[in-house]
Amino acid sequence: MPSVFENLATHLKTKRKQAGISQEELARQTGVSLTLIRDIERKAANPTLSSLVKIADAFDISIAELLDFNNSLKDSAKISDAIVRELKHLPPDKLRLMLEFIRVATR
């Protein structure tokens, strides 16, 4: 199963091409650096929540849709496994922040 960041890379590139915009134009529209946009699409960067919000807003979609959760993670067991895999490396302060985000996003 692809990781969340692999899904993001694939889905971001697809959405950007569907919108007919370059990486440079997306960077300009979002205020996210061109280097980060390129690195996300190459699966070489883990974007911040702030960057994800800006990118999702540019396409007028949710972060969940940008991460392509609906198509790639069909059941709660897969979602739990993906979250654990992606978050287990975080230091405690960043993990608490992400858990709070998840709590708020799933209300």
Q: Whole-angstrom distance between the N-terminal and C-terminal Cα of the chain?
A: 27
User: How many separate domains does the chain show?
Assistant: 1
Output the domain CATH number for residue 57: 1.10.260.40
What pLDDT score does 77 carry?
64
Question: Could you tell me which of 36, 82, 83 has the C-alpha nearest to residue 55?
Answer: 36
Residue 94 DSSP one-character state: H
**Domain of residue 37, residue span:** 4-105
Question: Could you tell me which of 2, 95, 1 has the C-alpha nearest to residue 49?
Answer: 95
Reported as a single tens digit per residue, the pLDDT across 11-56 is 899 999 999 999 999 999 999 999 999 999 999 988 998 999 999 9
